[in-house]
Chains A and B, each alone.
Chain A
Amino acid sequence: MNLMHKKTLYEIIVILLLAVTIGVAWNHKLLLNAWTGQAPAPPPPAVSGAPAAAIPLPVGLMQVKDMFDRKEAVIVDARDEATFAKGHIQGALSLPVGEAAEKVPAFAEKHPPDTLLILYCNGYGCHDSMELGIKLIENGFTSVYAFEGGYPEWKDAGYPVEGTEP
């Protein structure tokens, strides 16, 4: 390898290392959360007394499974009813984002505002759970989380599902 190539390689490495260092340092909290989201025994997100966020906070698969096992959370499916009927996370409630205007008030009557809610839809490309979460927060719910991996990630992990063709 001649000297020019060596110098270019050296420059590439310096730039990459710089990006990795700044990127990891800048996002260390997010990365830590993402990492613990997958850790075997993650602490569940702080529930009581957490300040009400304007948008649902993201929550990872393992945290959802943890809260599912402990029955701490109400899991809400933001997809339409037909999709819900085909397959959904075991015990999830259907609250389609398209019908949120009609159904959220009734939902709010049945569940106190500090209920821990986990919303999901069809995974990362799907924003229904975020949209529904914003509406629920507007209706006074204080602990609203969005499981961004959604039904696909849950099903792929082999966790309990139910429905006509789960």
Chain B
Amino acid sequence: MKKFPYELIVIIIRIALGAIFTYAGIIKIMDPVAFAGSIAAYKILPYFGNYLAAAILPWLEVICGLLLMAGGSRDHPRT
């Protein structure tokens, strides 16, 4: 019996998740004011905090998404 391809499945999930993160980040980078409005709607940050979060978080999302797609972590190395 053929070995179940865990490694392949991990790669597929990893790339899909990374792509979702990257996509979600990019659409927010395109319109930071709208994202700031969405954050402000939660009323948890002060006025300027909304804009600061809207400026930084999407980039964090894109970086994490790209790194996830690139792979190379200790637990799940590039194969």
B56–A19 touching, CB < 8 Å: yes
B11 within 8 A of A: no
Give the distance in Å from the alpha carbon of A26 to the alpha carbon of B74 in the complex. Answer: 31
Residues on B with C-beta less than 8 A from A148 are 37, 40
Q: Which of A8-34 contact B (CB under 8 A)?
A: 15-16, 18-20, 22-24, 26-27, 30-31, 34
> In the complex, are the beta carbons of A31 and B51 less than 8 A apart?
yes
Given the interface pairs A124-B37, A148-B37, the reply to whether A60 lies near B59 with Cβ below 8 Å is no
When C-beta atoms are compared, the residue in chain A nearest to B58 turns out to be: A23
Complex CA distance for A125 and B38, rounded to whole angstroms: 7
Contact indicator B41/A124 (Cβ below 8 Å): yes
The A-B contact count (CB < 8 A) is: 66
B interface SS class:
helix
Contacts of B51 in A (CB 8 A): 27, 30-31, 34
Select which of B55, B63, B64, B74 is within 8 A of A31 by beta carbon: B55
Query: What are 19 A-B contacts defined by CB distance under 8 Å?
Result: A16-B60, A20-B56, A22-B63, A23-B56, A23-B60, A24-B56, A26-B59, A27-B54, A30-B32, A30-B55, A34-B47, A34-B52, A37-B47, A38-B47, A123-B40, A124-B37, A149-B40, A149-B47, A153-B47
